[in-house]
Amino acid sequence: MISLTQQVSQLTPIDDATLQAVRAEVRSLEESWTNVYSEYHTGGWQTLSLLNNTSEPTDTVITDCDPVETSLLARMPHTRALLKRLGFTYMWVRLAKLEPNAFMLEHRDYKELKRVGRLRLHIPIITNAAAAIVIERLKIFIAPGYVWKLNPVFPHAANNFGAEPRIHLILDCYVDERLTAMLREETLDESFVQYLPSPTRAELDRAVTEAARLARFGDFEMAEHSLLKLFHFYHLKEGFAYELVARMYDSLGDCPRRGQWMENKTKFLCLETAAAAAATAPTGNLRLAVVPAQSSVKEFSQ
Ligand SMILES: [Fe+2]
């Protein structure tokens, strides 16, 4: 069984003075952020690279590399010092901004990269309590003051339903001795974890009916997003949000769009390669698995 801390955990604290200094550097940025991986989100997710393969901050499509500093990092001494102090074996480091009301769809990462031990670390710089990462049935507030581990070979999504942009420093790191040692001490404060309720059949039926109504008026994107967003509010089994979109297009007799979303499900969740990747995922402290609370809501057959 896969423990929650294999998927997400807190690795090490970040002191407040460092966080304030990095935050000030980020707030003073005047660069134009790049919009990448657009099919994986609803708009409003943008990045800038600090360590990458070209030194150009707007090169933000990640790949395996032995990275160099970008011209942006050279102008961020506190951020640069933090990365150096953490001392990981970096593959890529980015700033990622998630605008208010934006959300990433349920997905897996790393499918295009080499099969080597690698983890994604998050350092929240500017965030709010209405921003979260969703994993399985859980919504997790990635609270400031820590380096967080996210193992993105497991399905996950991100959202920001707060009023201000959420900005994280995202460190893709090769697993080395230093990171392995931190993984042995990883923890997860359960006060940051919220269990999502299971939806009722009536709630799902209503959502599909309402989405179909939007689609009939030509608001296809709004219809699709209304169903895909359910992953952020309910405990849905892997890929079920995509199946709801397919079900909605089924009800409209729209076979091409139905087929497209079933293809998207396979692509975004990397279903052809996911099982093998999860089996070789670096493991942390298995003793700290969080036991899910019993839901009193009757589970809809998904
Ligand atoms: Fe991701």
Domain assignments of the chain as residue spans, ordered by start = 4-194+280-291, 201-268
222 CA to centre of ligand 1 in angstroms: 22
- In the prediction, which pLDDT does 38 show? 85
- pLDDT tier for residue 290 given thresholds of 50, 70 and 90: very low
- In the prediction, which pLDDT does 114 show? 76
Provide Rg for the chain, Cα atoms.
19
> Which among 109-113, 274-278, 295-299 has the top mean pLDDT?
109-113
The Cα–Cα gap between 198 and 56 comes to 44
- In the prediction, which pLDDT does 276 show? 59
User: What is the mean predicted confidence (pLDDT) over 15-32?
Assistant: 96
Average pLDDT of the residues of the chain: 90
Task: Return the higher-pLDDT residue of 117 and 56.
Answer: 56
User: What is the mean predicted confidence (pLDDT) over 117-125?
Assistant: 95
30 CA to centre of ligand 1 in angstroms: 25
Whole-structure pTM value: 0.88
205 CA to centre of ligand 1 in angstroms: 29
- Per cent of the chain over pLDDT 90 is 79
Asked if 104 and 232 touch (Cβ cutoff 8 Å), the reply is no
7 CA to centre of ligand 1 in angstroms: 12
- pLDDT tier for residue 282 given thresholds of 50, 70 and 90: low
The residue written with tokens 């079933």 in the block is 262
Mean pLDDT is lowest, of 11-25, 112-126, 251-265, 283-297, for: 283-297
Asked if 124 and 170 touch (Cβ cutoff 8 Å), the reply is no
253 CA to centre of ligand 1 in angstroms: 32
- In the prediction, which pLDDT does 175 show? 94
User: What is the mean predicted confidence (pLDDT) over 214-219?
Assistant: 97
Own/partner pairs, 205-210, CB within 8 angstroms, 24+ separation: 207/244, 208/244, 208/247, 208/248, 208/251
- Give the CATH fold of the 4-194+280-291 domain: Jelly Rolls (2.60.120)
122 CA to centre of ligand 1 in angstroms: 11
252 CA to centre of ligand 1 in angstroms: 31
259 CA to centre of ligand 1 in angstroms: 23
Mean pLDDT is lowest, of 12-16, 203-207, 296-300, for: 296-300
107 CA to centre of ligand 1 in angstroms: 6
214 CA to centre of ligand 1 in angstroms: 28
296 CA to centre of ligand 1 in angstroms: 30
H-only helix segments in the chain = 4-7, 16-27, 77-86, 177-184, 201-216, 220-228, 240-252, 255-268, 274-279
Query: Is pLDDT at 165 greater than 90 in this prediction?
Result: yes
Sign for the CA dihedral angle at 142, 144, 148, 152 comes to positive
End-to-end CA distance of the chain: 21
Task: Return the higher-pLDDT residue of 167 and 273.
Answer: 167
Output the CA–CA distances (angstroms, integers) from residue 210 to 41, 89, 151, 243, in the order listed. Answer: 21, 48, 34, 16
254 CA to centre of ligand 1 in angstroms: 29
